[in-house]
Amino acid sequence: MNIMKMMKQAADLQRRMAEVQQGLATRTVEFSSGGGAVTAVVRGDLELERLRIDPSVVNPAEVALLEDLVCAAVRGAAAEARAMAAREMAAATRGLDLPPGFSLPL
């Protein structure tokens, strides 16, 4: 492969990655735990956008349960956002002649 082709591919990759990252910051995924008692919404850039807690689960005697539900919802939403980001990055780099084993940070 010649150096000019590699430089063009690197520039294309950088542009595609920037586009994907900008797009991911505007997309969200949602994950619920406790049968919908706690719902976390996470953006594609892994920022927690919103957290909803059903008032019926707010019981001072069950704070530990609520904490567990919140953690489960946030972990699930973050996992969904990472999967979405991986799919978008894979689509953005499809067709590029990248070296074997080359991976992009998400």
- Domain containing 28 — which CATH number? 3.30.1310.10
Quickly state the pLDDT bin for 32 (edges 50, 70, 90): very high
- Provide the pLDDT for residue 17: 82
Answer whether residue 35 shows pLDDT above 90: yes
Domain membership of residue 104 (yes or no) is no
Q: What is the pLDDT of residues 45-102, one digit of tens each?
A: 888 888 889 988 888 888 888 888 888 999 998 898 889 888 887 887 776 665 656 5
Closest CA to 63 of 38, 35, 32: 38
- Provide the pLDDT for residue 101: 60
Start-end of H helices in the chain: 3-24, 63-93
Predicted TM-score (pTM) of the model is: 0.61
Quickly state the pLDDT bin for 14 (edges 50, 70, 90): confident
- Count of structural domains, the chain: 1
* Domain encompassing residue 45: 3-93
Domain membership of residue 101 (yes or no) is no
Query: How far is residue 13 from each of residues 31, 43, 46, 96, measured CA to CA in Å?
Result: 31, 22, 21, 8
